[in-house]
Amino acid sequence: MKQLLTLARRSQIRLCLNQAIRLASSAVAYVSPFTTPATLSPPPPHILPYDNAAETVNSKLKKLENPDCRFLKYASPHPKLASHDHILSAPETRVTTLPSGLRVATESNLSAKTATVGVWIDAGSRFESDSTNGTAHFLEHMLFKGTERRSRRELEEEIENIGGQLNAYTSREHITLYAKVLDTNVNQALDILADVFQNSEFREARINEERNVILREMQEVEGEIQEVVLDHLHASAFQHTPLGRTILGPAENIKSITRVDLQNFIKNHFTAPRTVIAAAGAVKHEEFVEQVKESFTNLSSDSTSTSQLVDEERAMFTGSEVRMINDDLPLAQFAIAFEGASWTDPDSVALMVMQTMLGSWNKSVGGGKHMGSELAQKVSISELAESIMTFNTNYKDTGLFGIYAVAKPDCLDDLAHAITYAVTKLAYQVSEDDVTRARNQLKSSLLLNMNGTTPVAEDIGRQLLTYGRRIPTAELFARIDAVDASTVKYVANKYIYDKDMAISAIGPIQELPDYNWFRRRTYWNRY
């Protein structure tokens, strides 16, 4: 009985509410006699379900065209960015140019616990003369032998105490000093590099001591057959030009280099516009720039650029060969190279893809039968060589593109035929599948080589010296993806087809074909 009474009361309440709603709606629908007929809305037509859905979509589109500013205060469906470079270049490389011309570049990764700080100088062995060849490499050795503030022992102990690593190297176009330290020691590492770079002391006793060290290093390098072959290749390809000189220099120069020679090289080439201070890892750009301003104050602002120096004495490629027969060596080693592209030449990207297509192989690694490179497959299946390596070396005004090989004496003729066939084929027959595979391998290798703060810092310093900027990964990949089979054939016809080459060979090379044999196989008589 109680439940029936409760239900009756609820029904009465609902009835009252419905009546109230009807009264309210009738009051809203009442139109004043003073309103114009234009404000009266027509009766709603009969709307089908899909018509209703279409009207809903149209109403939403109108809202997007006229958005309510209250809901779009911090975001908008319409992008307003004029450039997405900072997104595509992430992680961003920030570059600041000081009034002296010194460039400071960083790539911050505050989650890292280490950092690499370095100095990259746009000067190397190609900027020496015949009488001073070897000065740049000699100077690299002397930079860590004591400064006005730190003795050699204090310098070594300071690096050891913070658990850091200090290193340097010299190439034909660059000199590099860098230190890898913990995130808490970045400022100290930068101070050490600034002291070494600006205030090194060149005492006669240290110079004579290091002279003997470099002469012993030269003997070790002469035992590295690959280094000797590539040095002879440069000397043959760029004979009588700066790139033909070795990095270490001849022994006569090492014995005669003086303190004045070292100081003159620093005065002429260690200038602010030709120097880059780069860091990667646990660094903050603003703080790093401020410390660079305080530490690097003794650099010359001479505006002479390396491009001006290169134009004064450009490298000229000469088709030629150099052979050193040595039957005491168990294996023959040789390299053949064509003139390549410079750093800034657009063809350099296509040559990188071609280098990947030809590939590299080593007998100790194995797996050549199933590699993407047709040359590697043929060499491994027929056992023509112990190893092969395709190289693509870039310089400011030229380059070298070729193959280095190590083989038994009785395999040289067949190996030479396989190499020339594979290289010349790039100008005639190229499949899209091979190019796609090479592009993917190239992009993968570029990313894998950027693992760690030291490779990143080296990449920043090198690219700022060669390109004047850091090329974002997205842009570089876009340039690689733009290379197709037709591009490869075009570039191969430009650099390989019926072109002179340089050859360097050492060992039991009596069976290696002569220069004319190689030159004849840079083209096919096919129509």
Model confidence pLDDT, tens digit, residues 44-99: 555 566 667 777 777 776 766 666 665 555 555 555 556 666 667 678 899 999 99
Please report, rounded to a whole number, the percentage of residues in the chain having pLDDT higher than 90: 70
| Least confident residue range of 43-52, 279-288, 390-399 | 43-52
Choose between 365 and 141: higher pLDDT.
141
DSSP string, 418-447: HHHHHHHHTTT---HHHHHHHHHHHHHHHH
Q: Where are the alpha helices (DSSP H) in 33-122?
A: 49-65, 85-88
CB 488 within 8 A of CB 350: yes
481-488 long-range Cβ contacts below 8 angstroms, 24+ apart: 481/439, 482/349, 483/349, 483/350, 483/353, 483/435, 483/439, 484/432, 484/435, 485/430, 485/431, 485/432, 485/434, 485/435, 487/350, 488/350, 488/353, 488/354, 488/357, 488/426, 488/430, 488/435
Choose between 106 and 60: higher pLDDT.
106
Catalytic residues: 140, 210
CB 262 within 8 A of CB 138: yes
pLDDT band at residue 386 under the 50/70/90 scheme: very high
pLDDT tens digits for range 230-281: 999 999 999 999 999 999 999 999 999 999 999 999 999 999 999 999 999 9
Residue 454 CA: distances (Å) to CA of 168, 202, 394, 460, 468: 12, 29, 21, 10, 20
**Residue type at position 88:** L
pLDDT band at residue 10 under the 50/70/90 scheme: low
pLDDT tens digits for range 202-240: 888 899 999 999 999 999 988 899 999 999 999 999 999
